[in-house]
Amino acid sequence: MLSRSSGILLHPTSLPGRFGIGSLGAEARKFIDWLSESGQKTWQILPLGPTDLSHSPYQCYSAFAGNSDLVDLDELVEIELLQAKDLVLTKAFPLESIDYHSVRKFREPLLHKAFLRFRETGGFGWDNYRQFWSENSWWLESYSLFYACRKNLKGKDWSFWEESLVLRTEESLNLYYRTYREDVEFQRFLQFVFFKQWFALKKYANNLGIKIFGDIPLYVSYDSADVWTNQDLFLLDKKKKPVKVGGVPPDYFSETGQLWGNPLFDWEELKKRDYDWWIARLHFNLHMYDLVRIDHFRGLESYWAIPYGEKTAIKGEWLKAHGDAVLKILQGQIGHLPIIAEDLGTITREVHHLRKKYHLPGMKVLQFAFASGADNEHLPHNYELDFVAYTGTHDNDTTVNWLKTVKGEERDHLRRYFGVSVVDHWKMIRLILSSVAQMTIIPLQDVLGLDASARTNTPGTIVGNWQWKLASQENLKEQGEKLKELTDLYRR
C-alpha cells in the first residue's frame, strides 16, 4: 500500500537545458530541490529508453537501454572527457520547445569526442566500467550491436538486413561486431555514462526523501534490439513481420481506436521459458526506480490484437495474456510489488481482479470525471485508497486548456460538482489533493497553469508531440509555496 503523498509528473527531457533539452545534470537536481521544498514526495517520469524518430518514450530501440539525449554534457567536462570550450554555443536553442534534429546535431559529435577520450585514457578497463559491463552485458551486448548495425545498414528496420544477421548466426554477429566495433563501443560508453548519471541522480532524490516513479510500456517497438534478439518471443511470420499488432479499440481519445503497431508477445513461448524476459525486465525497472507504472496494464490480462496492415484499430480481437503468471513469479521473488497499474479506459472485471489480487494501485484522472453521472469512477467521491489520482496525464490536455474547451453537460456537471460558476486549475488540484486516494500526481504544466502549447502528447497524432520544454525554473517558487500549503493542509 502506498503512503499518503503527492508528486509531480515531468519527463526529464522537459527540464530547462541550455543545450536544447533537459538532462540528468544540475537542472534535474534543482528540480528535485524544488520538489522537496514544495512538500512533494514523488517525481513521476516517462520511460527513459532511446527513442525512435517519433521521439516518443513509448517507442524505443530497447526496453533496457537509456536515452543518451539525457546525458549531461557539463558532467563530461567535470570528469575531463570534454573541455569547457567544447560546450560554447554559436546559436541558442529554443527555450520552450525541443528541436530534436538540432539537439542531436550538436550533441552527437561531443559525445563521440568524449568517447574517444574515454577510450584513449583506458576507460574500458576502469573498474566501474568493468562492473557495469558485468552486470549489464546480458542486454547491452545485443543492444550495442543492434544500434551499430542500424546506423550503418540503411534498411528500414532489422528485418531488411542480410538473412544471416536477421537470424543472428554466430558467424554473422562476430563479423558485424568486428566491422562496426567503434560504433558498438561508442554505444556501450553512452550506456555506461547514462546509468552512472542516472543512479547518481536517483540517489540525490532519495536522500531528500523523493521517490522516483518510473514507467514501463507494455509493448516494445518492432524496430528494437528486444525483438531482433528474442524473435521467438513475439508473434512474427516467416518473413519476420508481425502477424498482429497492438493497440486499443475506439475510446475516449479516438473514435477509430489507437493503432500502436507494436508486435505482440507469444505468451505460450514465454511460458516455456518461465517468462524470463518479462521477469528480467521488471527486475531491471524496479532497480532503476522506486516504483513503476505498467502502461496499458489491461494488456497483461487480455490485449487487443489487430491484423498487421490494418489502417485503424477498429478491426481486432481480445486475446488472453499471461500477466497473472508473471506477477505471481515476481511476487514470489520480491514480496510486495511496488507497481502501479495504468487501468484507464474500458476495464473488465478480470482486469480489476488481477490488479487487486496483487494489491496494485490503479489510476484516476479528474479530467475524465464529468462526462457522465454521479457514478463516474473518476469522481473523487468514488475513489478508494488504492489509487493514484491525477488532474491529467501526459496524454491529456493541460488542465487550463481543458477547462477552456469543456462544453455542454460536462461543463455543467463540473460547475455543479465544485459548487461555483468558475473552476480554475488550482481548484482541480485542490480536489484531488483532498481526496482519499493514497497518492496524487500533478503534471507540472498544471501547477504552472500553462495552456495547450505546453501539452506533452496528443494520442493518435504524430506531429508536435514530446517537444514541450520548461524555459526556466525561476518561476517555480511561488507555485511551489502554494503547492506546499495545500500538501500540508491535506496531509500529503
Which runs of consecutive H residues, i.e. helices, occur in 225-358?
Answer: 225-229, 267-272, 276-288, 323-334, 349-357
Residue 79 has phi, psi (to 5 degrees) of -95, 15
Residue 2 DSSP class? P
**What topology does CATH give the domain 5-489?**
TIM Barrel (3.20.20)
The residue ranges of every structural domain in the chain are 5-489
Please state, in angstroms and rounded to a whole number, the distance separating the CA atoms of residues 245 and 304. Answer: 8
Residue 485 DSSP class? H
* Residue listed under C-alpha cell 480489476: 352
Please state, in angstroms and rounded to a whole number, the distance separating the CA atoms of residues 346 and 266. Answer: 24
Q: How confident is the model at residue 253 (pLDDT cuts 50, 70, 90)?
A: low
Please state, in angstroms and rounded to a whole number, the distance separating the CA atoms of residues 88 and 105. Answer: 14
- In DSSP terms, 363 is beta-bridged to 388
Q: 420-439: per-residue pLDDT in tens?
A: 999 999 999 999 999 999 99
Please state, in angstroms and rounded to a whole number, the distance separating the CA atoms of residues 316 and 255. Answer: 14
Longest dimension (CA), the chain: 72
- Check residue 189 and give its pLDDT: 98
Give buried/exposed letters for 140-175 (b at 16+ CB in 10 A, else e). bbbbbbbbbbbeeeeeebbbebeeebbeeeeebbee
Please state, in angstroms and rounded to a whole number, the distance separating the CA atoms of residues 8 and 210. Answer: 11
Q: 450-465: per-residue pLDDT in tens?
A: 999 999 999 878 889 9
Which runs of consecutive H residues, i.e. helices, occur in 167-315?
Answer: 170-179, 181-207, 225-229, 267-272, 276-288
Q: 204-229: per-residue pLDDT in tens?
A: 999 999 999 999 999 999 999 999 99
β 42-44/5-9 pair status: parallel
Q: Which amino acid is present at 346?
A: T
> Who contacts 98 (Cβ-Cβ below 8 Å, separation ≥6)?
13, 20, 21, 55, 466, 467, 468, 469
User: Is the full-model pTM beyond 0.75?
Assistant: yes
- Check residue 381 and give its pLDDT: 98
Residues noted as catalytic: 295, 342, 395
Q: 297-343: per-residue pLDDT in tens?
A: 999 999 999 999 999 999 999 999 999 999 999 999 999 999 999 99
Residue 142 pLDDT greater than 90, yes or no:
yes
Q: 82-91: per-residue pLDDT in tens?
A: 999 999 998 9
- Mean pLDDT over 237-246 rounds to 96
Alpha carbon distance, N-terminus to C-terminus of the chain: 15
- Check residue 1 and give its pLDDT: 67
> Who contacts 300 (Cβ-Cβ below 8 Å, separation ≥6)?
218, 294, 321, 322, 323, 324, 326, 327, 354
Please state, in angstroms and rounded to a whole number, the distance separating the CA atoms of residues 485 and 483. Answer: 5
Quick check: 35 and 197 in contact, CB under 8 A?
Answer: no
Residue 75 pLDDT greater than 80, yes or no:
yes
Give the residue among 271, 385, 292 at the shortest CA–CA distance from 337: 292
As given in the structure block, the three cell numbers for residue 91 are 546559436
Between the CA of residue 335 and those of 39, 116, 292, what are the distances in Å? Answer: 29, 44, 15
CB-side neighbour CA atoms (13 Å) of 23? 19
Mean predicted lDDT score pLDDT of the chain: 96
Q: 336-389: per-residue pLDDT in tens?
A: 999 999 999 889 999 999 999 999 999 999 999 999 999 999 999 999 999 999
> Who contacts 139 (Cβ-Cβ below 8 Å, separation ≥6)?
62, 64, 65, 225, 284
